[in-house]
Amino acid sequence: MAALSRRAVFLFKVLACLCFFGFSQGKKQFTLRNLPPLQKASSFPTARPGAYDYIIVGGGTAGCPLAATLSLKYKVLLLERGGSPYGNRNISYMENFHIGLMNMAPDSPAQVFVSTDGVINARARVLGGGTCINAGFYSRASSSFVQEVGWDEDLVNKSFPWVEEKIVQWPKIAPWQAALRDGLIQAGVSPFNGYTYDHISGTKVGGTIFDETGYRHTAADLLASGDPNNLRVLLHASVHKIVFNSRQGRLKPRAIGVQFADENGRLHQAFLNNNRDSEIIISAGAIGSPQLLLLSGIGPKNDLKNHNIPVVLHNKYVGKGMADNPMNSIFIPTKSPPRQSLIETVGITEAGVFIEASSGFGQSSESVHCHHGIMSAEIGQLSTIPPKQRTLEAAQKYAHTKLNLPKEVFQGGFILEKIDGPRSTGHLVLTDTDVRNNPAVTFNYFSHPEDLNRCVYGIKTIERILKTNLFSELAANVAGFSMERVLNMSVQANVNLIPKHTNDTESLEQFCKDTVITIWHYHGGCHVGKVVDQHYRVLGVSGLRVVDGSIFSKSPGTNPQATVMMMGRYMGVKILRERLGRAAGI
């Protein structure tokens, strides 16, 4: 009997233990203790540089999880042109979101570019990439997207939680976001799907990479999941070109190394080892990756010749099919300064229009002085600049004068709409051969009538939301505002460089075209089947892949960062499994 009860106690303990591990799955404590040293590029030896299994160009949203995963088994060199996100208050604190985007210094984590369409945009230049400068909203791709791109669903379902358990949280929903949630449901964007990362029609609250104190967690944190003994991270390492071995007799040119400049402008070279499975992986983002392929001699041969770049491989598709999801926003003034919120709630409509919102500004000593930056949608609020004079210089000057305005004038929030999978596409071409400079990018917003129809649908949905009066407690006299007045304020608040028209408030089509801005979800330039194959290997050469937002023909989910980080992890595991089979153990 005593033996039986001892066995029962033992079994109970085993069961309790199993339960504990079962329940704690996905909630493992994640710390940054394991981060590899972040070294300056100048520390790289010029004499006898080590040889690597993988060289990853771009320590961004996809590049960091990819490097961490590959380092579990192989020697990895990660080259990032920007600096460290740690210790930078504009990156770490949500209240400084607008200020960070405003910083135009040559080493700013946000590099401004203006598309030829006249829309002011930004690209990341920092370890952690877009996750260091973005609005933090986290929402997975739909299962139909996963099927369309041909990913292994089982591995996708393991890779999303790998990211989430480390850096994603649920927001403490702000009043402005709660009003949008209720307004969306009343306006018919239903059902309410609660708090979920999943992409489901209706209204939901998504995840965020800001924690409850407003502190930002980024893709750079994911490097702590790698093996620090195998992972070398160099900052301020600007890769100028990929080095190929085009020996005669070789069927295809083979990528063998990279040339990069350090923070002092000194050139270095890094090479792969001789293993035929070793690779260079470009994760430089939707602007950086096609740009680097072109600078390395892969692209339309006439364009390359125009810049005296020796042609390694003619491919007319590099830089083609670029797209940016158009965003249009409606400005609503509020009675008192609303609590700051970036994006927490989203309405996913059947028509392929996503409705989101942002409100207020941070109240830190840095942000309280109305220095919110020309990259923020809020810049033009109370604008005094006639639309035709809205050059980039004028916008900068305006941003500066805003420093002296009282903070009360910056009271309000935006409801915005994003067009999913725009049919309008454009292209990217080099303007010169300096990798630090932006290429010329054209998105051709609303050149396809379907995109314009959907924009009009989105504005009408926002009108219905405003009519639900759920904003009346927050908004200053919203019930008394006609839609024409609301549109007019929104035209005033707009900050693109597109000339405005007098009928902007009468024709919603004209309003959409004139006030289009970006939600920074641009993608494409290295499309599957045109520039890379199904496994993202660059067509026509060996030893080279591209893994980042440039391979997408459609931006995933309501907002892409979840899927881009997931893809970094996913591709890391895929590559390890390809090379090691079961021995990958992952």
CA separation for the pair 81, 127 (Å, rounded): 8
Q: Does 548 bind ligand FAD (CB under 6 A)?
A: yes
Q: Does 156 bind ligand FAD (CB under 6 A)?
A: no
Q: Among this protein's residues, is 521 annotated catalytic?
A: yes
55, 70, 79, 532: residue in contact with ligand FAD (rule CB under 6 A):
79
CA angle 277, 279, 281 (to 5 degrees): 150
CA separation for the pair 555, 401 (Å, rounded): 36
SS3 of residue 98 by DSSP: helix
> Which of 179-187, 286-294, 311-319, 509-517 is the region at the interface with ligand FAD (rule: CB under 6 A)?
286-294
CA separation for the pair 59, 131 (Å, rounded): 11
CB 133 within 8 A of CB 110: yes
Residue type, 115: S
Q: Does 59 bind ligand FAD (CB under 6 A)?
A: yes
60, 83, 373, 524: residue in contact with ligand FAD (rule CB under 6 A):
60
CA distances 562 to 35, 124, 407, 550, Å, are 21, 16, 34, 15
83, 543, 560, 572: residue in contact with ligand FAD (rule CB under 6 A):
560
Rounded (to 5) percent helix, strand, coil in the chain? 35, 20, 45
112, 292, 327, 374: residue in contact with ligand FAD (rule CB under 6 A):
292
Mapping DSSP onto H, E and C, the string for 333-395 reads EECCCCCCECCCEEEECCCCEEEEEEECCCCCCCCCCCCCCCCCHHHHCCCCCCHHHCCHHHH
221, 549, 566, 573: residue in contact with ligand FAD (rule CB under 6 A):
549
62, 452, 544, 575: residue in contact with ligand FAD (rule CB under 6 A):
62
Q: Does 514 bind ligand FAD (CB under 6 A)?
A: no
Q: How far is the CB of 135 from ligand FAD (least distance, A)?
A: 3
Tokens 């990211």 belong to 163
Please list the residues that pair with 345 across neighbouring strands.
Answer: 205
Q: Record the tokens describing residue 219, joined without a space.
A: 């893709």
> Which of 9-17, 58-66, 244-252, 358-366 is the region at the interface with ligand FAD (rule: CB under 6 A)?
58-66
Kindly determine how many residues on this chain lie close enough to bind ligand FAD according to the rule CB under 6 A.
Answer: 45
Q: Quick one: 58 or 387, whose CB is closer to ligand FAD?
A: 58
120, 233, 281, 435: residue in contact with ligand FAD (rule CB under 6 A):
435
Q: Does 140 bind ligand FAD (CB under 6 A)?
A: no
* Binding-residue pattern over the window 235 to 274 for ligand FAD, x denoting contact by CB under 6 A: --xxx-----------------------------------
> Phi and psi of 31, rounded to 5°?
-125, 165
Q: Does 341 bind ligand FAD (CB under 6 A)?
A: no
CA separation for the pair 194, 204 (Å, rounded): 5
Q: Quick one: 281 or 576, whose CB is closer to ligand FAD?
A: 281
The separation between CA 324 and the C-alpha centre of its own chain, rounded to angstroms, equals 12
Q: Does 343 bind ligand FAD (CB under 6 A)?
A: yes
- The active-site residue, picked from 236, 521, 523, 527, is 521
Q: Record the tokens describing residue 155, joined without a space.
A: 């591995």
Applying CB under 6 A, which residues contact ligand FAD?
57-63, 79-82, 101, 122-126, 129-131, 133-137, 237-239, 283-286, 288, 292, 343, 435, 520-521, 548-549, 559-562, 564
What positions carry a catalytic annotation? 521
